[in-house]
């Protein structure tokens, strides 16, 4: 059994990365969505260990101190982070793991887990990004301006990613993401166990001749 692959999906706010990641996980039973830890309160309809691992701020601080998080960040009054042991367990069991996080967190994880595959999602144009932010109807004009300014900074990190996905339509973007996942699974460096097995089988078969 090969070890799982960790895929990170990042992108601008409004690029549709959340929709794309949720859809591909539904379609691929061997691809698991990573669950983050957070200090925010559980909302209606959410469940522990499904949407998030809900912890107190003291517990989160302890996790930071003990190195239990691959990355973490604070948004507003709450912390969000990626549990190291949870991701490691999933990968060791042979599951491919999909993690949706921002560029700074992605860089931290890539530094500690170099084999991580990073994918950046973007709309086809900057104007389309603005239209999607406006169309969501949940951000104020100030929030939209702030998100677009942040996108300018995030765009500087695109060159560090392994793949770029242009999300023109969700359906095509999911197909393209599927292609990336399948291609990574078939890379020789990820098939060490199979290659070793087939070499041994051929040697044994040759001895019988």
- Alpha helix ranges (H) inside 13-138: 17-27, 57-65, 84-92, 103-112, 126-136
The model carries a pTM of 0.90
For 148-160, write each residue's pLDDT tens digit: 999 999 999 999 9
Banded model confidence at residue 137, pLDDT cuts 50, 70, 90: confident
CB 72 within 8 A of CB 79: yes
pLDDT at 1: 66
Q: What is the pLDDT of residue 96?
A: 96
Q: Under CATH, domain 6-34+96-208 is a member of which superfamily?
A: P-loop containing nucleotide triphosphate hydrolases (3.40.50.300)
What is the per-residue pLDDT across 170-187, written as a single tens digit (0 to 9) for each?
Answer: 999 999 999 999 999 999
Q: What is the mean pLDDT of residues 196-207?
A: 93
Which pair of tokens denotes residue 95? 């599951």
Q: In the structure, how many helices (H) and strands (E) does the chain have? A: 8, 9
Cross-sheet strand order for the sheet of 31-33: 31-33, 96-100, 6-11, 117-122, 163-166
Task: Please report, rounded to a whole number, the percentage of residues in the chain having pLDDT higher than 70.
Answer: 99
Res. 90: pLDDT tops 70: yes
Q: Give the neighbor-by-neighbor strand order of the sheet with 69-75.
A: 52-54, 36-38, 78-83, 69-75
Alpha helix stretches (DSSP H) within 113-169:
126-136, 141-155
Q: Say if residues 65 and 130 touch (Cβ distance below 8 Å).
A: no
């Amino acid at each position: 059994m090969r070890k799982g692959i960790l895929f990170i999906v990042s992108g601008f706010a409004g690029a549709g990365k959340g929709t794309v990641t949720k859809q591909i996980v539904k379609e691929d039973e061997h691809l698991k969505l990573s669950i983050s830890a957070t200090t925010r309160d559980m909302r209606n309809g959410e469940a522990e260990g499904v949407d998030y691992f809900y912890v107190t701020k003291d517990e989160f601080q302890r996790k930071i101190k003990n190195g239990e998080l691959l990355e973490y960040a604070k948004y507003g009054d709450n912390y969000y982070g990626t549990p190291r042991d949870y991701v490691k367990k999933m990968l060791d069991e042979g599951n491919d793991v999909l993690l949706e996080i921002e560029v700074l967190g992605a860089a931290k994880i890539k530094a500690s887990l170099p084999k991580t595959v990073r994918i950046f999602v973007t709309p086809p144009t900057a104007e389309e990004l603005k239209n999607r932010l406006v169309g969501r109807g949940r951000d104020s004009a100030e929030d939209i301006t702030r998100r677009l300014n942040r996108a300018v900074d995030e765009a500087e990190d695109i060159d560090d990613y392994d793949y770029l996905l242009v999300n023109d339509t969700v359906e095509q973007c999911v197909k393209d993401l599927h292609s990336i996942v399948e291609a990574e699974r078939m890379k020789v460096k990820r098939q060490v166990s199979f290659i070793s097995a087939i070499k041994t089988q051929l040697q044994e078969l040759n001895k019988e001749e």
